[in-house]
Amino acid sequence: MFDDFSLPFDSLLQYGFISALLLGILLLIRVGLQHFFFNQANIAIEVRRRWSVNVRNALVFIFLVGMILIWAPQLRTFAVAFFAVALALVIAVKEFLDCMVGAAVRAMTKSYAIGDRIEIEGVRGNVVDHNLLTTTLLEIGPGQTSHQYTGRAMVVPNSFLLKYSLMIETYSKHYRLHIVTVPLSAKDDWKRAESILLKVAEKQVQPFIEEARQHLKKLEGKKWLDAPNVDPRVTIQMPDPGRINLLLRIPCPTQFPSRLEQAILRKFLEKFTFAV
């Protein structure tokens, strides 16, 4: 039944040779560009990693398009005969297709890039790689308030972008607002603790607070956001009877909130004595 669709052996050799040649050329380009990026020591590692990933994904796309252009004329006659098989294949590889659609959504919306910190379905970390099927994160944790690497890499299928909400912690790129929680008991002098916490925070953010204010003000015009007040402020929360939480909101560099948080907490603990 399929005899009419068989390709001459010479044609198979010809198209196979062209396909192999295309693959060889793209591999040479990849190796050359990787070597070029590796030697650019004056450029930040995050930028070089982003270039490398984008080049790799572009070459994969060029290879897929090239294979379609090479083989499509010869395979056109198979379309009707294999329609049922193709339909079954689509159903069988639904997750694979969802991953590719998720990658397309990420590319079109520019939702995140290499170096961004994101959280999706409980997985939180810095993006170090992404391709047509997956996104690789260096995990940050434990918990939602930590900013330390756990030493684990998490590979997330891009299909998650179609199923779950995505949180981007580095949306503002250079500066962000960060919350530091200081728990107290009802016996502690919370007014004095609030005063000490504010004074410590104001001193720690003084070197960059004006730059942070200008940066967030620019986002107001570019992304239609209301520019928040970046001055340190404390709000009070009572999660349980007998407990008081002081919530300190401060501006901080997007990539290094833990350093500022630790500096503030250490200075606060040096000056405040908890009730026994």
Q: What is the rounded CA–CA span in Å between residue 244 and residue 185? A: 6
Which CATH number is 222's domain given? 3.30.70.100
Same domain flag for 102 and 161: yes
Residue 85 counted as domain residue: no
Same domain flag for 185 and 261: yes
Same domain flag for 193 and 230: yes
Same domain flag for 53 and 107: no
Q: Which of 124, 146, 171 is the C-terminal boundary of a domain? A: 171
Show the domain range for 9. Answer: 3-79
Same domain flag for 180 and 167: no
Residue 204 counted as domain residue: yes
Residue 86 counted as domain residue: no
Same domain flag for 156 and 218: no
Number of Cβ within 10 Å of residue 130's Cβ equals 22
Same domain flag for 180 and 160: no
> What is the number of structural domains in the chain?
3
Residue 52 counted as domain residue: yes
With contact defined as beta carbons under 8 Å apart, do 151 and 138 qualify? no
Q: Which of 171, 195, 216 is the C-terminal boundary of a domain? A: 171
Which CATH number is 119's domain given? 2.30.30.60
Q: What is the rounded CA–CA span in Å between residue 170 and residue 140? A: 13
Residue 240 counted as domain residue: yes
Same domain flag for 164 and 182: no
Q: What is the rounded CA–CA span in Å between residue 206 and residue 273? A: 25
Same domain flag for 167 and 181: no
Q: What is the rounded CA–CA span in Å between residue 273 and residue 275? A: 7
Residue 88 counted as domain residue: no
pTM (2 d.p.) = 0.57
**What tens-digit pLDDT sequence spans the chain (276 residues)?**
444 445 556 667 887 888 899 999 999 998 888 888 778 778 777 777 788 888 888 899 999 888 888 877 666 656 655 666 767 777 777 888 899 999 999 988 888 888 888 889 888 888 999 998 999 998 887 766 667 788 888 999 999 999 998 988 777 777 888 889 999 998 899 999 999 999 999 999 999 898 888 887 776 655 555 667 888 999 999 988 889 999 999 988 877 788 888 999 999 999 988 765
Residue 214 counted as domain residue: yes
Edge-to-edge, what's the strand order for the sheet holding 166-168? Answer: 148-157, 134-141, 123-130, 117-120, 166-168
| Dihedral pair phi/psi, residue 136, rounded to 5° | -105, 130
Same domain flag for 197 and 159: no
Same domain flag for 182 and 266: yes
Q: Is 8 exposed, middle or buried (0-12, 13-18, 19+ CB in 10 A)?
A: exposed
Residue 143 counted as domain residue: yes
Token pair for 158:
């891009």
Same domain flag for 193 and 265: yes
- Residue 272 one-letter amino acid: F
State the chain's maximal CA–CA distance in angstroms.
90
